[in-house]
Structure 1
Amino acid sequence: MLSWEPWLKILIYTFLVVALAKPFVYDAAGNQHKKGRDLVLAIDASGSMAQSGFDEKDRFKTKYETTLDLSADFIKHRFDDNMGVVVFGTFAYTASPLTYDLEAMESMLKMTTVGIAGESTAIGDALMQAMRTLSYGEAQSKAIILLTDGYHNAGRSSPKAAVAKAKEKRIKIYTIGVGKSSDYDAALLDTIAKESGGKSYAAASAAQLKEVYKEIDKLEPSPVRGENYLNQRLLIFFPLMAAFLLLLGWVLYPKRSLLLGDGK
């Protein structure tokens, strides 16, 4: 056996171990100066969101599924916003904290289902939880987009108390009533939006909800600096390629030696 073969095996093994460790580098250059706002989507996941027929193109899709799809499309276009998601029903919880990693946030949003937070509708708790989520952001402009198809009938916090807190913190609330106007408390949503400096919308269909999102998408951005989110780039290709080339050379070298030997 040639004396260099053990060292070659060690080198190949080392490159394979490095590849399995999934080496990566961070690139922070593109995320250090963001323009936008701290924005939280508060999405109703109560039992009534399981109703179908909201999307005229696909009558079998539930209101919640359609809302998730359109919300995901809205998220994709908010490149400079620091966004989060709150899901609510009987209680409210943060499905995604504020982040610039909108792809990851979209994935976490799609993991939620109808009834995951209970069957009732706690609008006050949803707004309170959204404000807690916003408290971790540093943007000058903060906003909540509340989507619901029901009446406030659960939770520890009242919508009135939540709105008072939002006014104190200068957080705008944009409300969207999903479905028929008789299904949700349109007067309450209108009051929440007006008192917080936001705007109230009605979306009786998927097409209308899409248009509402387009209008909200035109919100003026304000400067915000992102210091924590960094792009991750995997480097697994390089050690794998190095191991492959060394292994290929090891396999071909004896054959080349035999060919040269036969020619003598």
Structure 2
Amino acid sequence: MATTTLEDVTATTRRPVQAARRRRRPVITWVGPVVVFIGFIGLWYALAAYYASRGLPYFVPYPHQVLAVLTDPEELQTLGTALLHSTEVAMTGLAFAIVLGTAWAVIMSQAAWVERSLFPYAVVLQCIPILALVPLIGILFGYNFQARVIVTILIALFPMVSMTLFGLQSVAKQQRELFQLQGVSRVTMLRKLQFPAALPSIFVGLRTSAGLAVVGAVVGDQFFQRGNPGLGVLIQVYASRLQGPQLYAAILVASLLGVAVFVVFGWLGRLVVGRWYDFT
């Protein structure tokens, strides 16, 4: 005759509780964002009604007016073309920022005096207002695609440098000393110890830089308006013409591009390092 132990009773009573928690978790996941979204739309309508009552409807258009712009084929084609140009600038600048930032961090990780010599310049580069560099960038590189990419690099570079350096230096001292006792080269230590340990930090920096690259593309587009116009030029044109719904639609498309890039690189980070690290 089988006997029932206290552990069996505890496990039996625990299973329904765990199942209930698993059922509640998906509900909590989507209910919160939906409630916030409804509140945001309600606030938007209230602001639009306020400005419409003051005779300034182009300041804050109604959400359904913005939606009408996003569903209009002609307007959608204009926004789509500008979106492609801004995406091209953002991804090109991000690629350069990844390469330059990673190389910069690797060089600084080799010795403390190298880090002390180079890292202050990364901070200075991050702190310089882009507006102060615009005339110089325009004179040196023109006012076309190259200038927009450079602005994107300047805005997106620092997170890659700082987070990659942090990851490379986060290796445990015991592990580093073990590799040194084996007489391995610096390249082998980077490849087999430091880079695997730094992957979570690298992808955090990559995700941050990806979002900033979109900002850099839009900002650079507003400063350098020659060549193929992107979302930045479109935003300025709509603002100068007081086309409120079109302006908000362009801003919304730029925001969605930033969110999409952020989500894609977050997914890529979970795909690469999620097996060993809880990448959120």
Q: TM-score scaled by structure 2?
A: 0.22
Q: TM-score scaled by structure 1?
A: 0.23
Q: Which has the higher strand share?
A: 1
Query: RCO greater where, 1 or 2, for CA within 8 Å and sep 6 or more?
Result: 1
Q: Which has the higher helix share?
A: 2
